[in-house]
Structure 1
Amino acid sequence: MESNSSPSSSPIPIFSTFTSPFEGSSKKSDLTKKPLSLWPGMYHSPVTLALWETRSNIFERLLDPPLDAPPQTELITKTPSRSRMTIMYNFSTDYLLREQYRDPWNEVRIGKLLEDLDALAGTISVKHCSDDDSTTRPLYLVTASVDKMVLKKPISVDVDLNIVGAVTWVGRSSIEIQLDVTQPATADATDSVALTANFIFVARDYKTGKAAPVNRLIPETEREKSLYEAAETRNQLRKRKFKDEKKELDNGEVDKFEELLAEGRIFCDMPALADRDSILLRDTRLENSLICQPQQRNIHGRIFGGFLMHRAFELAFSTAYTFAGMMPSFLEVDHVDFLRPVDVGNFLRFKSCVLYTECENPDHPLIHVEVVAHVTRPEFRSSEVSNRFYFTFTVRPEAKAMNNGRRIRKVVPATEEEAHRIVERMDADSL
């Protein structure tokens, strides 16, 4: 992302939420303003509080949208710089903030970072779609999907961190936002970018719930034009992928499918003869459940998408940890689709498993974990998938050394459905 000197893109400092950022304020306007920490319908975290305070004039309208007001009648053409935002984590000086983000290995908790990325992307989408007219009703913006995110280097919790993002592409009612997580380069990593993510949001009319057109985008710089073209290419690939989802397996895939299933049948029918270096997929499963609480909802009353990604990541990490018997190291999260909204009061079940492993390089084995989120309604005896997450982990050499070089086992299916899932993910990861 290129820098911009406009006031709207000035970096937003992030502070710890162990104490209220509104305490001790002496400004007259602050004394009459309702603290954001008391607003209903917001998932509170250091980042969301800072973002909502920065754009409170917009979010106050969204808390009680004027549904009787007319929709925006004229689309505005904006540049990427109009939506660009930067947030700063002063980890080097803010001890309390460090403690909120520290994991047991003195790195940043990836799950919390996924939350923050979603929060910032959502704010940027609102900023782009706003017409700054209080007489029109705002749009309802929801996370539709997240493209693959790859961790390029470990993120230290002792060094200041920045996230910068802007709109890079728009369709009729969809918006793509690119976010770059940066930390000063070190001797081990010359590039300051630690992670790049692309979020897709879709716009709905608050009153009708139907798709609504969004403001246009005109890239200015060569980099912005390049990002726009890359986003357009990704959009075309998504459309083709959607059309090809139900294609028949080709011969190579059938052979792979049968080979996996044959190994699984040995486990089921002749367990004493099964390969001790393999394990059934069903034996790698973990699960947790929760009732979605009001404190986890966003300004639209739905469960905050970043919260779902956070919970999915931590279950995936636990799954990889118990499977490997060694501390896993996160590498990437594949494309995530938000298939249906999750509401307050929903019974949400996260189910995880290790789909398959890659051990061709014994010093850098790969563990592919699937997490599926189900919205379950016991009173109606129904269960629907809201999200599918695919995470990839490895284990660090020092962890393998501590465990006497313990091998990562191969995962095999016991059913045709499991074999299909494994083959599909292998093919998707090879693209």
Structure 2
Amino acid sequence: MDPNPSSASLTIPIVSTFASPFDNSPREKDSTKKPLSLWPGMYHSPVTNALWETRSKIFERMLDPPLDAPPQSELLTRTPSHSRTTILYNFSTDYILREQYRDPWNEVRIGKLLEDLDALAGTISVKHCTDDDSMTRPLLLVTASVDKMVLKKPISVDVDLKISGAVIWVGNSSIEIQLEVTQLTDGKTDDAESVALTANFIFVARDYKTRKAALVNRLSPETEKEKLLYEAAEARHQLRKRKKVVDRKEIENGEIHRLESLLSEGRIFCDMPALADRDSILLRDTRLENSLICQPQQRNIHGRIFGGFLMHRAFELAFSTAYAFAGMMPSFLEVDHVDFLRPVDVGDFLRFMSCVLYTESHNPDQPLINIEVVAHVTRPELRSSEISNRFYFTFTVRQEAKANNAVRIRKVVPATEEEARRILERMDADALSA
């Protein structure tokens, strides 16, 4: 069982990373710690800074891992409570922290929250996998995907916020972590009623020296809730394995009728634009794009670009795409899926390309806008471009925007077979996860 129960259920208070202009009392300094300028991720958010402070001994080993040290010789059995970690945002009293997270509608910036969720999930995965032995080399833990993230209600920036998470399932070398964002409002005292967002992250473990898959500590759920979460995660894992087989069969057999149905309207746009349906639009006409050079300040403890930073940038491009497409203020609903296909390094030229993949108007009160964002690592000197990440977001239209405007969400149609296949794949994936 868990050999170190005293470290369970860690709670970390979050404070602003900027000094108040009205506060003349300097913060205490610890001369034994590495200078802040050497800490990776410190520029992302106050959460990254707080998590580093809390686990500094573990993370400092990862900055310069002992590659000649032996790997962990014996797997341990951990409980979910061992990795459970909670962070608290004191928005009601820390006005500087509040300003760091405020969006134009006095809510928490979702893009910034995505950074924090990824950072917390990474800390939880490290806590589960460490063997507390400084004589062995640590594992390389990387974000493989975000399985699902659902916003259940708006998150106010004026009320204290809590994020809590733990490992809920492990495979041979993979780990699933569930996070819950809660905010007590309207006098509610029950955390179950105050859940504002849920997220499931999947991490994979690699040997730091060989970069091959590495075994992770086992998990022993104790409570009835933990057992149910484990069973549900195992079912999702099996579903993902079966879906890969089904996808291969569908590609082999073809879906001529569905593809032709999607492409028929697109051909009218391309060949006879004057006769095209004015309530539809070509997928390619919904695209937006931006690019950046990845900087050292955006790196994680492994020296690669922080996954939360990539999600933050992808979300803000997706939000802008939904805004330009709908013609009114969008409202975020969920991250359908995120794939981390290859690492992104400091100095990489990264291009984010977004489009509206498809729309749904079954419920006129909540039309859905499904956005795809694809990140490409581009190397002009080699004339190469590789996909590093795929992000899928779902938005609707804000209630106050609908009150003043007639909602008219256009249908998106593909012009090419490749676009039609992408639409069908996401529609099927969303139907499976519904």
TM-score if structure 2 supplies the norm length? 0.93
Local SS of the residue matching 2:68? coil
Distance verdict in 2 for CA 1:224–1:276, change over 3 Å: same
Alignment match, 1:179: 179
Instruction: Give me the whole-angstrom Cα distance separating, in 2, the residues matched to 1:26 and 1:408.
Output: 54
Distance verdict in 2 for CA 1:92–1:6, change over 3 Å: farther
Alignment match, 2:130: 130
Instruction: Give me the whole-angstrom Cα distance separating, in 2, the residues matched to 1:350 and 1:203.
Output: 27
User: Is 1:414 aligned to residue 394 of structure 2?
Assistant: no
| Residue of 242, 245, 248 corresponding to 2:244 | 242
Do 1:43 and 1:297's aligned partners in 2 also have CA atoms closer than 8 Å?
A: no
| Residue of 266, 275, 278 corresponding to 1:276 | 278
Instruction: Give me the whole-angstrom Cα distance separating, in 1, the residues matched to 2:290 and 2:221.
Output: 44
2:388 counterpart letter in structure 1: S
Deviations 1:342-395 (A, max 9, x none): 111111110000011111222211101100011111111111111111111000
1:216 counterpart letter in structure 2: R
Deviation at 1:34, TM superposition (A): 2.6
Do 2:159 and 2:185's aligned partners in 1 also have CA atoms closer than 8 Å?
A: no
Do 1:167 and 1:176's aligned partners in 2 also have CA atoms closer than 8 Å?
A: yes
Distance verdict in 2 for CA 1:416–1:155, change over 3 Å: same
Distance verdict in 2 for CA 1:357–1:252, change over 3 Å: farther
Do 2:10 and 2:84's aligned partners in 1 also have CA atoms closer than 8 Å?
A: no
Alignment match, 1:300: 302
Alignment match, 1:156: 156
Alignment match, 2:404: 402
| Residue of 263, 266, 281 corresponding to 1:264 | 266
Distance verdict in 2 for CA 1:284–1:91, change over 3 Å: same
Instruction: Give me the whole-angstrom Cα distance separating, in 1, the residues matched to 2:66 and 2:225.
Output: 38
Instruction: Give me the whole-angstrom Cα distance separating, in 2, the residues matched to 1:24 and 1:8.
Output: 32
Do 1:185 and 1:191's aligned partners in 2 also have CA atoms closer than 8 Å?
A: no
Any unmatched runs of 5+ in structure 1?
none
Distance verdict in 2 for CA 1:76–1:380, change over 3 Å: same
Distance verdict in 2 for CA 1:409–1:217, change over 3 Å: same
Deviation at 1:400, TM superposition (A): 2.1
Deviation at 1:160, TM superposition (A): 0.7
Alignment match, 1:423: 424
Alignment match, 1:38: 37
Local SS of the residue matching 2:31? helix
Instruction: Give me the whole-angstrom Cα distance separating, in 2, the residues matched to 1:49 and 1:100.
Output: 14
Local SS of the residue matching 1:31? coil
Distance verdict in 2 for CA 1:362–1:38, change over 3 Å: same
Alignment match, 1:109: 109
Do 1:25 and 1:31's aligned partners in 2 also have CA atoms closer than 8 Å?
A: no
Alignment match, 1:99: 99
Deviations 1:251-277 (A, max 9, x none): 995333212211111111111111111
Instruction: Give me the whole-angstrom Cα distance separating, in 1, the residues matched to 2:399 and 2:33.
Output: 53
TM-score if structure 1 supplies the norm length? 0.93
Alignment match, 1:142: 142
Deviation at 1:33, TM superposition (A): 2.6
1:415 counterpart letter in structure 2: T
2:115 counterpart letter in structure 1: E
| Residue of 309, 325, 328 corresponding to 1:326 | 328
Alignment match, 1:90: 90
Do 1:43 and 1:304's aligned partners in 2 also have CA atoms closer than 8 Å?
A: no
Instruction: Give me the whole-angstrom Cα distance separating, in 2, the residues matched to 1:262 and 1:187.
Output: 54
| Residue of 196, 199, 203 corresponding to 1:197 | 199
Once the two structures are superposed, the pairs formed by residues 305-384 of structure 1 within 5 Å of their partners are: 305-384=307-386
Instruction: Give me the whole-angstrom Cα distance separating, in 1, the residues matched to 2:257 and 2:233.
Output: 35
Any unmatched runs of 5+ in structure 2?
none
Tell me whether 190-199 or 320-329 shows the greater mean CA deviation: 190-199
Across the two proteins, how many residue pairs are aligned to each other?
Answer: 422
2:421 counterpart letter in structure 1: H
Do 1:364 and 1:396's aligned partners in 2 also have CA atoms closer than 8 Å?
A: no
Distance verdict in 2 for CA 1:40–1:160, change over 3 Å: closer
Instruction: Give me the whole-angstrom Cα distance separating, in 2, the residues matched to 1:349 and 1:368.
Output: 20
Instruction: Give me the whole-angstrom Cα distance separating, in 2, the residues matched to 1:209 and 1:348.
Output: 24
Instruction: Give me the whole-angstrom Cα distance separating, in 2, the residues matched to 1:158 and 1:261.
Output: 48
Instruction: Give me the whole-angstrom Cα distance separating, in 2, the residues matched to 1:92 and 1:382.
Output: 49
Instruction: Give me the whole-angstrom Cα distance separating, in 2, the residues matched to 1:376 and 1:385.
Output: 9
Instruction: Give me the whole-angstrom Cα distance separating, in 1, the residues matched to 2:396 and 2:255.
Output: 25
Instruction: Give me the whole-angstrom Cα distance separating, in 1, the residues matched to 2:81 and 2:163.
Output: 15
RMSD of aligned C-alpha atoms?
2.1
Alignment match, 1:18: 18
Instruction: Give me the whole-angstrom Cα distance separating, in 2, the residues matched to 1:247 and 1:186.
Output: 51
Instruction: Give me the whole-angstrom Cα distance separating, in 2, the residues matched to 1:343 and 1:291.
Output: 10
Local SS of the residue matching 1:71? coil
Instruction: Give me the whole-angstrom Cα distance separating, in 1, the residues matched to 2:426 and 2:69.
Output: 46
Instruction: Give me the whole-angstrom Cα distance separating, in 2, the residues matched to 1:51 and 1:224.
Output: 24
Alignment match, 2:72: 72
Distance verdict in 2 for CA 1:399–1:263, change over 3 Å: same
Instruction: Give me the whole-angstrom Cα distance separating, in 2, the residues matched to 1:223 and 1:8.
Output: 17
Deviation at 1:122, TM superposition (A): 0.3
